[in-house]
Amino acid sequence: MSPVLPKDLVARIKEETDIAAVVREYVTLRAAGTNLVGLCPFHREKTPSFNVNPHRQIYKCFGCGEGGDVISFLMKLQGLSFPEALEILARPLDVDLARFLVDNDEAEGERQAFFRAQESAAALWSEAYWGREGAEARAYLEGRGFGQEILRRYDVGFAPAATSWLVEGLTRRGVDRDLAQRTGLVRAGHGDEPFAYFRNRIIFPVRNIAQRIAGFGGRILGEGEPKYLNSAEGPYFSKRELLYGFAMSRIPIARHKTAILVEGYLDQIALAQAGFGNGVATCGTAFTQEQAKILRRGCSRVFVLFDGDAAGIKASVKAAAAALAGGLEPRIGRLPAGEDPASFLLGRDATALTGILESAPGYLQLLRDLAAESGRGREARERAVKRAIEAVAGVPDPIRRALLVDEAAEVFGLARELVGAEVARHAEPPRAPGAAAARSDPAGVGAARPLQPERGLLRVDPATVEQQMLAHALADETGDAAEAMLDLWPDADFALEPARRLHEELAAWREQRRLGGAPPPAGFVQERWHAHDDGFRRLVTDLLTNQEACSTGDHVRVVRDCRHVLEQDRKRRRDSDRTRTRAGGRGE
């Protein structure tokens, strides 16, 4: 169940957040009258059509139609849920939403305690890394080419070898032994004596989408096994659903619509140090479809950049297949044998890696190339084709799957019918008719075309007239125009689905108004529009953006005139239909 956030708290966060400041983190804006304009982050364009209205605290792109407020901006750009976006905006304001994001107070207390313990441990390990205990760890990372600035940015730490060091440090910071054990930071040893889970390891904090520390990865310093150790799985740390570095790279990923996937924590840090801010790393597991979906929120393409040895190539093929099934377009960068991303970048500039990424083949091309390189002839090629068919069959989008069938047939030189038949055989059986509702137009607004005028009739576009009426209903802060529209048109019989939903929202506004304490119609709708889809927000921002055109004048009169025009248009159409029906009857 979605968390319920108090409306006054949501309103406070929106009021205290400067939408222009948030948008400027992603878009270069310049003044244009009372608005700010820039290149839209949601589609490619050369002429700025993205507008920010600081007064109304909304944005609108007149190129692609995207629009909303600061919350929906983050939701759309970073692929966040409403609570996730709100939590990110609340942090700089020192507003704690945690107790509203869980189902009960007991769970909230445990959640807050968990993150407090993780952050306390991270602080202790960071102090140790930059203190005398971390001298050897610093020497190791400096020898691998990592600078202080990037290591501080990623809060890299060091866990000393002493078993009691962490327990004592956590106790000083108010984290008792019981909490430390519940969060997995310490374990119970012989005689129930606690010992630190991470010892003699370089520590890499792993943050979730809300930038809270969910767990850690630790690399052994010197000899020892396992080389890498991760926090235990739990309610707040799931290696299948987390990506190291994503908290920092999500903005560059959304900006470039591309991500670079690596295997190791140090590989990801090396990318960032070299200027590739859109890198992420898996957390000690194979790349999963859950992680692919996280990336898919902000980008469509991912470069898989694993180690250049045989094991790395094998893992790259698996990761690319998962990316394909998760809706991403994978490209596989191939490093020289014996190199990983961190070692490759050591002593080379960024252009060397850029060249590898630019020439990176797609998944199907890679399978073909690997088969050819193996020297095993038809056997290797057959295995590559079967692997390709299995991967394509796992793609859920039928249109994309069909295009991949075409591509696979071309890449491997096979008949399209043969490849298509094999993919169909491997694919999951289709759902029974009626098992799922038909998908509506994702934008909502484009689902219905404006009605075409009949010959001899006055050319009226009902959708345009309806939107003019709704714009005046929102523009009138007294609410009289909205009341008049609801009285004149009690049924939500609109040409476009988003307009019907806006009518329903205004009906809800009237109910609250009658109970007392309702804001103006526009404010009421904006408070609740995150419960709707992009199509609804696009329509409302269109209407709000155009309010300047109807800011003066008699709003109630315009609403009545619009309703009259729509009624006359419908009457003429009904008369025309009856005339055609009678004419058809005589023709028989």
Structural element, H or E, at residue 565:
helix 555-587
CA atoms within 13 A on the CB side of 129: 26
- Ramachandran area for residue 554 (φ above 0: left; ψ -120 to 50: alpha; else beta): beta
Q: Which CATH class is domain 7-100?
A: alpha beta
Looking at residue 428, what is its pLDDT?
57
pTM value > 0.75: no
| Residue 193 or residue 124, greater confidence | 124
Indicate the domain borders of the chain. 7-100, 105-230, 238-360, 361-428, 458-579
238-360 has which fold?
Answer: Dna Topoisomerase Vi A Subunit; Chain: A, domain 2 (3.40.1360)
Encoded amino acid at 249, one letter? S
- Could you report how far apart the first and last alpha carbons of the chain are, in Å? 60
User: Strand locations in 81-231, DSSP E?
Assistant: 157-159, 186-188, 194-196, 201-207, 213-220, 228-230
pLDDT at 460: 64
209 vs 419, residue with greater confidence? 419
Q: At 204, is the secondary structure helix, strand, or coil?
A: strand
Angstrom distance (rounded) from CA 170 to CA 55: 47
Give me the pLDDT at residue 457, please: 38
Please state, in angstroms and rounded to a whole number, the distance separating the CA atoms of residues 472 and 555: 5
Helices within 146-228 (DSSP H only): 148-153, 165-172, 177-182
In which band, very low, low, confident or very high, does the pLDDT at 451 lie, cut at 50, 70 and 90? very low
Give dist(CA 260, CA 333) in Å, integer: 9
- Does residue 100 surpass a pLDDT of 80? no
Reply yes or no on whether the pLDDT at 459 is more than 70.
Answer: no
Amino acid identity of 172?
R
Stretch among 245-259, 284-298, 375-389, 516-530 having the lowest mean pLDDT: 516-530
pLDDT over 90 percentage in the chain: 46
User: What value does the mean pLDDT take over residues 200-226?
Assistant: 92
pLDDT tens digits, residue range 104-114?
445 556 777 89
The structure tokens listed for 43 are: 């589609």
CATH annotation of 458-579: 1.10.860
336, pLDDT greater than 60: yes
At 444 the pLDDT is 34
Nearest to 520 by CA among 568, 479, 572, 491: 479
Q: Answer yes or no: is pLDDT of 26 > 60.
A: yes
448: pLDDT strictly greater than 70: no
228 close to 205: Cβ distance less than 8 angstroms: no
How confident is the model at residue 537, as a pLDDT?
Answer: 84
Please state, in angstroms and rounded to a whole number, the distance separating the CA atoms of residues 93 and 221. 39
363 or 84: whose pLDDT is higher? 363
Confidence of residue 562 (pLDDT cuts 50, 70, 90): confident
**107 vs 264 pLDDT, higher one:** 264
Rounded to an integer, the average pLDDT of 404-423 is: 96
Q: Pairing mode, if any, of strands 30-32 and 35-38?
A: antiparallel
pLDDT of residue 46 exceeding 60, the answer is yes
Q: What is the mean pLDDT of the chain?
A: 85
Query: Are residues 423 and 401 in contact, defined by beta-carbon separation less than 8 angstroms?
Result: yes
User: How many Cα neighbours within 13 Å face the side chain of 445?
Assistant: 19
Q: Which of 81, 68, 208, 113 is nearest to 525 (CA)?
A: 68
User: What is the identity of the amino acid at 447?
Assistant: A
Tell me what percent of the residues of the chain surpass a pLDDT of 70.
88
Kindly state the tokens that stand for 315.
Answer: 């893992």
Tokens of 412: 């491997």
* Residue 101 pLDDT grade (very low, low, confident, very high; cuts 50, 70, 90): low
Quick one: pLDDT at residue 246? 93
| Domain 105-230 class, CATH top level | alpha beta
